[in-house]
Amino acid sequence: MSIQKVAVIGSGVMGSGIAAQIANAGVPVVLLDIVPKDADDRSAIAKGAIAKMLKTDHLAPLMSKKNAKLITPGNLEDDLELLKDCDLIIEVVLEDLKIKHATYEKIQKHRKKDSIVTSNTSTIPLAKLIEGQPKEFVKDFMISHFFNPPRYLRLLELIVGPDTRKDAVKTVRDFCDIQLGKGVVMCKDTPGFIVNRLLVFWMQASVNAAIEDGVPIEIADAVMGKPIGVPKTAVFGLIDLVGVDLMPYLSSSMLSSLPEDDQYRKIYKDYPFVGQMIEAGYNGRKGKGGFYRLNPDAPKGTKEKQALRLSADSFSEDQYHKADKPKLESVAAGKKGLQAVVTTEDDGGAYAWKVLSQTLSYAASLVPQIADNIAAVDEAMRLGTNWKKGPFQMIDDLGPKWFADKLREEGMDVPPLLDAVGDGSFYKVIEGKLHYFGTDNTYHAVERADGVLLLRDIKLSSEPVIKTASASVWDIGDGVLCVEFTGKMNALDEPVFDAYWQAIKKIGDGSGDYKALVIYNEGSHFSAGANLGLAIFAMNIALWPQIESLVTGGQKVYKALKYAPFPVVSAPSGMALGGGCEILLHSDHVQAHAETYTGLVEVGVGLIPGWGGCKEMILRYQAEEREQHAKRTGGKQLWFSPANTPMGAVRKAFETIALAKVAKSAQEAKELRYLKPSDEITMNRDRLLFDAKQKALELAKDYQVPEAVEEIRLPGPTGKMALELAVNDLRKNGKATPYDVPVSLAVAEVLSGGPKADWTQPVSEDDLLKLEVKEFMQLVKNEGTQARVEHMLEKGKPLRN
């Protein structure tokens, strides 16, 4: 059975987010909600949810606004008949058992035979959800717990009952994995499943330790964030993000269902100040503030972040003060490892130990109660919270024996699983494959699903074929090489180009040991572009020949890859900016992860794309224009003729590059033509390398080198003049800064083809590359450019003045 259409019942934040992600996967989805009282439009709630999706820009639920067309809104009184066409029905109504049971009754009456029903509950056990339900419903039912926001958090906890059909489980697992891009973790039917069980404990232990030891929340968050591998929101910032008002609800849910001897019951404390915060409207970011807020009395046009001084028994606005930026040895110790953090003798180190000793030992006590093995727990915590490592990986960083001995030293219980691992570790490499320590006291291989290929696994049993200071080249099997960037932010420089040249030489004409090249890495981001640190160093001491050599060197190697006698497939994920975008433009095929954010952003630092980006974008937009012209005319008229001198492609390329447009998804990248219509998208990050490799092998079978574009028809000075008028209008209207003008004109010079071009005098690819170098070098010598590059390096964002 395959899932062709889905229904989501409940269009709140989670329900609408789940529906959006299903639409992102290209699957039609019905979104139903209750009929609002006295409403003119009985489906207003679901329609309003879709309208909100379309307006949301920050953490947008839709990968493309076009995907909203796949969502059909309706209500639970008039539109239940729509369920008969749905293969999967996901319930996302209020966490109230009576409401859920009433909803299941409606679903059961209208769903088709063998359709699958799941609940997104985060707190109610499956056993309670299926109480009193008919057998045919129970066999088709399971819990599919998404995490908020559903598009961006990769975890899906899947909980099945003893009577759930195995084929239904496989269908849902495959759908959520392959089509929705989720890391599916099988959980036991226990309170809070995996992530909420551990996360609620961690937050409670963190609040307790801060209050008991008088630790300011700024110190708590400073040490419990990046130094231990947790997102920068850390503890109190996270509570503000999810909502202070959610904390009592989560605690109540846990306390209502946890075993009597559970450790959470022993550490739980109901602090009066939390209720007082909620009553005063301090619910976190969605309210007036929470543990942090912006000073409401700050001078106009300024922002001052304030932090709450904790008091267990009371809350008042007088407890807010200007937030400190603590500099602690324990925070700096994060670079040396987790043990260095918790053993540092300062407030941060003591706090980190107190919280982590409780949290990690609690995690170790819950296997196999909450999951079959530790690998599942670690996977869930990484994907559901964006922690860099799960609890058992963190224990390995501490040293299991060291951790157990320190627990004993402080009179704390040592969980049996931690005691059993003894002098060993929870993970180890055996014969080139990662293994985990099982509850049977033996090691088991970490198995990957079919279609999953990870570079980190390949590295366990091999050495790079080629290695430079900023890149490595790996043999990923079947005659395919893989270039991996290894510098900071995967920035691009001459050592990366050297790795490309060596790979090109190694593969040769594709008839030997190797026949294709994949460009991929498993960093958070594919590449942030050129190495700006190196660039500003060269600019400050006027090493102009070296900078020009870097620009021409990038052009040469990118062109060599474009016209190589073997296929080149790029597989980006995360940011692919500037030079990182330009390598995509020169690849035969791009197999992009859905969450690829790409664009030619060089104008933000006062430069233009210098590695062929301008050239490739004009070629793409001209190809698009030719196709559209052929459709309009039935192929009867030439795209270019003395009577038809199209400027549309030039304007589109200029707008895209001069405005530094960035695609916020792979789907948007197709719309902006950073990706070709033939490029493909992989939803699950773990499947990206496998998909890219398969595409490279497919292309290698009968590979034909692309034909070089000999004639590019561009308008020359007349076209540049038209673009210049547009730039001047933007400047007059305050939409462009004084420095934007020369940068935009440099883009216009390249895209119009230079002073010798006109519609009847075509230019070549090499002509455009030379223009890129000329305009790039003129800009790079400008003091304004140097200031912008320095600002980007220091602040991480463009300078706007």
d(CA 658, CA 661) in angstroms, rounded, equals: 8
3-state secondary structure of 6: strand
Q: CA triplet 523, 528, 533: central angle to 5 degrees?
A: 115
pLDDT digits (tens, 9 = 90+) for 370-420: 999 999 999 999 999 999 999 999 999 999 999 999 999 999 999 999 999
d(CA 53, CA 33) in angstroms, rounded, equals: 16
Of 77-86, 442-451, 584-593, 749-758, minimum mean pLDDT range? 749-758
pLDDT digits (tens, 9 = 90+) for 418-453: 999 999 999 999 999 999 999 999 999 999 999 999
Percentage helix, strand, coil for the chain under 3-state DSSP, each rounded to 5: 45, 15, 40
**Mean pLDDT score, 489-516:** 96
Q: Scan for tokens 């003119």, then name that residue.
A: 40
Torsion of CA 364, 367, 369, 372, to 10 degrees: 160
pLDDT given for residue 425 in this prediction: 98
What does each C-alpha distance from 619 to 129, 650, 721, 768 come to in angstroms?
57, 9, 21, 11
Mean pLDDT of the chain: 95
pLDDT given for residue 534 in this prediction: 82
d(CA 763, CA 752) in angstroms, rounded, equals: 10
Residue 179: which pLDDT band, with cuts at 50, 70 and 90?
very high
Q: Residue 646 pLDDT > 90, yes or no?
A: no
d(CA 446, CA 426) in angstroms, rounded, equals: 12
d(CA 800, CA 549) in angstroms, rounded, equals: 29
pLDDT given for residue 20 in this prediction: 98
Residue 785: which pLDDT band, with cuts at 50, 70 and 90?
confident
Residue 800: which pLDDT band, with cuts at 50, 70 and 90?
low
**Neighbour-count burial of 39, counting CB atoms closer than 10 A to its CB (0-12 exposed, 13-18 middle, 19+ buried):** exposed
**Neighbour-count burial of 458, counting CB atoms closer than 10 A to its CB (0-12 exposed, 13-18 middle, 19+ buried):** middle
**Mean pLDDT score, 669-688:** 98
Could you tell me what percent of the chain has a pLDDT over 90?
A: 87
Sign, CA torsion 55/60/61/62: positive
d(CA 163, CA 150) in angstroms, rounded, equals: 28
d(CA 554, CA 583) in angstroms, rounded, equals: 10
Of 139-148, 469-478, 791-800, minimum mean pLDDT range? 791-800
Q: Who's near 376: CB < 8 A, 6+ residues apart?
A: 185, 186, 187, 194
Q: How many helices (H) and strands (E) does the chain have?
A: 32, 24
Residue 119 CA neighbour count, 13 Å, CB half:
30
**Mean pLDDT score, 465-472:** 98
Q: What is the DSSP-derived secondary structure letter of residue 190? A: -
pLDDT digits (tens, 9 = 90+) for 48-74: 999 999 999 999 999 999 999 999 999
* Cβ-count burial 690-725 (b if 16+ within 10 Å, e if not): bbbbbbbbebbeebeeeeeeeebbbbbbebbebbbe
* The token pair that represents 78 in the structure block: 């008039």
d(CA 29, CA 86) in angstroms, rounded, equals: 8
Q: Which residues pair with 158 in a beta bridge?
A: 144, 186
Bond before 715 cis per omega within 30 degrees: no
Could you tell me what percent of the chain has a pLDDT over 70?
A: 99
Of 354-363, 564-573, 722-731, minimum mean pLDDT range? 722-731
pLDDT digits (tens, 9 = 90+) for 690-736: 999 999 999 999 999 999 888 899 999 999 999 999 898 888 888 78
**Mean pLDDT score, 781-796:** 79
Residue 801: which pLDDT band, with cuts at 50, 70 and 90?
low
Q: What is the DSSP-derived secondary structure letter of residue 176? A: I
pLDDT given for residue 799 in this prediction: 65
**Mean pLDDT score, 109-117:** 97
d(CA 45, CA 115) in angstroms, rounded, equals: 25
**Mean pLDDT score, 250-260:** 93
* The token pair that represents 10 in the structure block: 């409940």
Residue 643: which pLDDT band, with cuts at 50, 70 and 90?
low
pLDDT digits (tens, 9 = 90+) for 217-254: 999 999 999 999 999 999 999 999 999 999 999 999 99
Residue 301: which pLDDT band, with cuts at 50, 70 and 90?
confident
pLDDT given for residue 616 in this prediction: 97
d(CA 168, CA 139) in angstroms, rounded, equals: 9
Q: Residue 794 pLDDT > 80, yes or no?
A: no
Q: Are 62 and 68 within 8 A, CB to CB? A: yes
Mapping DSSP onto H, E and C, the string for 32-95 reads EECCCCCCCCCCHHHHHHHHHHHHCCCCCCCCCHHHHHHEEEEECCCCHHHHHHCCEEEECCCC
* The token pair that represents 184 in the structure block: 């599916």
